[in-house]
Amino acid sequence: MKNLPDLFASMVFGDRAMKEKMPQDVYKALKRTVARGEALDPDLANAVANAMKDWAVERGATHFTHWFQPLTGVTAEKHDSFISPDGEGGAMMKFSGKALIKGEPDASSLPSGGLRATFEARGYTAWDPTSYAFIKNNTLCIPTAFCSFSGDALDKKTPLLRSMEALETQALRILRLFGNTTVRRVLSSVGAEQEYFLIDKSVYDRRPDLIFCNRTLFGARSPKSQEMENHYFGTIKPRVQEFMSELDEELWKLGVFAKTEHNETAPAQHELAPVFTTANLATDHNQLTMEMMKRIASKHGLVCLLHEKPFEGVNGSGKHNNWSLTTDTGINLLEPGDTPSQNAQFLLFLSAVIKAVNEHQDLLRISVADAANDHRLGADEAPPAIISMFLGEELTDILDAIEQERLYEERERSSMEIGATVLPKFPRDATDRNRTSPFAFTGNKFEFRMVGSSQSVASPNIVLNTIVADTLMQFADTLEASLETSCNFGETLNCLIRDTLRENRRIIFNGNNYSDEWKEEAGRRGLLNLKTTPDALEYFTSEKNIRLFSRQHVFTESEIRSRCEIILDNYRMTLETEAHTMISMVRRDITPALFTYENELAELIDRKTRLTVPADAERKVLERLALLGSALIERTDDLESALSEIADCRSAFDAACRCRDELTGRMNALRETVDALEASVASKYWPYPSYGEILYSVN
């Protein structure tokens, strides 16, 4: 391996490469344009494109693509080569400013939720110069936003950028109120910890459920499971180590700060955490990380499973979305400060997040809703579908003291007067013990733990940025008004923080989120418990949410409606595909296996009876199998007829609800029968590798 500093970002057309490859005036003009968020002028675009192409060709690139994130959840690209006729019968490598700035992929089959009529199916992609171009597979990838010709966002990047802007605008207003005139930019920072499973390709290839649905639809529990918990932080197996090393190296080349790699709770489960960066880059980088994980796994004869719940009864995979606010002067606005005024500012930002999360529980839940994640949320290993916030005891005590206008006892016996008191330093470790909370304050950032392992982090961050922006806007309005009417700023601030804490108290919960008592308590507090995707999506198009997103210029009403429809359609398609796969596995593999085994037993009973030898044991086994066999056929028929009735639903929402109500219960029932059969049928007849074989397939 080359030395790390040379290797890092060697495939990224970042600042270092730009300086080297572009004439100084071009470099400066580009930097200026990006800093001001202006459009590139055509001459500049040509110069940038040319430099980019020369740099890419030197590194072996032959093609370029506009790399974007459509609403399918993965990334999309359409490759064009640089090749162009040179006018003398030969070929030359060419890349114009026009091709850099704008592309028109014929992406009519990508979902738009009705935003694009088919006659104007083409959308266009536009370069996002805040995310650098990079080379992957000999292709220069240009990170782009994807829109329809009428300007509707058809991707995840566009609203993410809009939400970052909304948040920045409002955060700057607050900073100005605290007399800060030096900060020019406030960016949301994100570090996305990624969990995944690695299994051997040979077992994967024999599981149609993994191939078609990315999760096992059947599978009896393995005799040895994670109860023994010797995997977590255990030694990493050599084959996995080789995979991780290659993954790190490839990610480093792409400028992804892959930092920690370790085993997770379940057998075959691992985690990768990068160093945090801006929300926009973190989202791009997480998409690249997932793509690289799959590609590199396959080079090592492995398969990387990113599904939220690949195995029943075994921990699922999530993605912890660590989120904070950072200024261009390097200050984290969620870090308690050293002076009373810094603390007042910290408490105001903290209160804003508390209020935002309390008032927009529905949106946070919606931002992580899909069929796969429904299996995980509330399954005793992941936070429940109920949103609450963990602040740790010490910080909660401080907030209580503020709320009740009493002395804060513990430390300095001082009155908790905002803007007058230096907060005690919170030991970061002490605040991070609660692993059951969906939304935890971990000392200087919030960790949103409901995100699913295969999901893009764009949606949760769009929601976080927007709801916090909207709350900060209300705060700034109040505080600015108090300055104008020459009220006492300190007094207004005190009241604002105190009232916000009082009104949003119910969202704070420091206890065990997995317990049944919490579900009851949350019900008493009036917190939402949106268990399934359709339950959650019902809230997406509410008047309140449409107004919020329009006010912050993040989504238009039609963009919300289209997104809602796509999520619901995906939910239905996922459940239907799973049901079809189950039926096919039962009919084509499981039933024949059962009959073969039954036949062997029946022949044995026959032969033993002819020899007048008792065959009670065989008869007992056969009878049990026959009973399970009847249930198997009955439940499969039942699922099949329920499935055939889904087709004629009026709306995407109706169809999703029907799938939830008519399919999930039947699928669970069928699974129960099949898993009981797996435990009773001779293993030589069972058509699929067992959980034990899959989970311990990598040595």
Residues of this chain that interact with Mg ion (CB under 5 A) are 320
Count Cβ atoms below 10 Å from residue 106 Cβ, excluding itself.
10
Instruction: Tell me which of ligand ADP, Mg ion, none is bound by residue 273, counting a contact when its beta carbon lies within the kind-specific cut-off of 5 to 8 angstroms.
Output: ligand ADP
DSSP string, 316-344: --BEEEEEEEEETTS-BTTS--SSHHHHH
| Number of residue whose CB is nearest Mg ion | 320
- Quickly list DSSP for 54-96: HHHHHTT--EEEEEB-BTTSS-B--EEESEEE-SSSSEEE---
Closest CB to ligand ADP among residues 282, 625: 282
**Separation between Cα atoms, residue 326 and residue 329, nearest integer Å:** 8
Stretch that binds ligand ADP, among 37-45, 322-330, 366-374, 395-403 (CB under 6 A): 322-330
Sorted by sequence, the CB contacts under 8 Å of residue 485 that are 6+ apart come out as none
Contact between 307 and ligand ADP by CB under 6 A: the answer reads: no
273 near ligand ADP (CB under 6 A): yes
DSSP state of 485: T
Nearest to 424 by CA among 324, 340, 334, 330: 340
Contacting residue, 276, 441, 475, 539, with ligand ADP by CB under 6 A: 276
Q: Out of 400, 403, 432, 576, name the contact with ligand ADP by CB under 6 A.
A: 432
Greatest C-alpha distance within the chain: 106
Q: Which stretch binds ligand ADP (CB under 6 A): 14-22, 437-445, 466-474, 542-550?
A: 437-445
Binders of ligand ADP among residues 325 to 344 (CB under 6 A) are 332
Cα within 13 Å of Cα(220), Cβ side: 15
Compute the least distance from the CB of residue 435 to ligand ADP, in Å.
10
Q: Which is nearer to Mg ion, 367 or 437 (CB)?
A: 437
Counting contacts by CB under 6 A, is residue 180 touching ligand ADP?
A: no
**How far is 439 from 431, CA to CA, in rounded Å?**
12
Question: Which CB sits closer to ligand ADP, 194 or 459?
Answer: 194
Q: Which span sits near ligand ADP by CB under 6 A: 133-141, 269-277, 305-313, 361-369?
A: 269-277
Among the residue ranges 11-19, 34-42, 318-326, 478-486, the one whose residues contact ligand ADP (CB under 6 A):
318-326
Which CB sits closer to ligand ADP, 254 or 416? 254
324 lies in the site for ligand ADP, by CB under 6 A:
yes
Q: 96 or 444, CB closer to ligand ADP?
A: 444
User: Using CB atoms, what's the residue nearest to ligand ADP?
Assistant: 191
Query: Do the beta carbons of residue 282 and residue 274 sit within 8 Å?
Result: yes
Stretch that binds ligand ADP, among 172-180, 189-197, 230-238, 305-313 (CB under 6 A): 189-197
By beta-carbon proximity to ligand ADP, the closer residue of 101 and 331 is 331
State how beta strands 63-67 and 139-148 pair: parallel
Phi, psi of 79 (to 5 degrees): -90, 140
- The answer to whether the CB of 21 falls within 8 A of the CB of 144 is no
Strands 186-200 and 123-127: unpaired
Place of tokens 């929402």: 653
With CB under 6 A as the contact rule, the residue among 1, 92, 211, 275 that binds ligand ADP is 275
Tell me if 189 contacts ligand ADP by CB under 6 A: yes
Binding mask 349-368 for ligand ADP (x = CB under 6 A): --------------------
Closest separation in Å from C-beta 274 to ligand ADP: 5
Residue 164: how many CA atoms within 13 Å on its side-chain side?
Answer: 26
At 534, phi and psi to the nearest 5? -60, -35
Rg (CA), the chain: 28
Binding part of the chain for ligand ADP, among 7-15, 305-313, 392-400, 441-449 by CB under 6 A, reads 441-449
Token digits for 464?
């976080």
- In this structure, are residues 13 and 132 in contact, taking their beta carbons and an 8 Å threshold? yes
Question: Where in 190-219 is the site for ligand ADP (CB under 6 A)?
Answer: 190-191, 193
Q: How far apart are CA 613 and CA 461, in angstroms?
A: 71
Contact partner at residue 432 from ligand ADP, Mg ion, none, CB < 5 to 8 Å by partner kind: ligand ADP
470 is a contact residue toward ligand ADP (CB under 6 A): no
One-letter amino acid for residue 433 of the chain: R
Rule CB under 6 A: is residue 460 a binding residue for ligand ADP? no
Task: Report the interface residues with ligand ADP, using CB under 6 A.
Answer: 189-191, 193, 273-276, 322-324, 332, 432, 442, 444-445
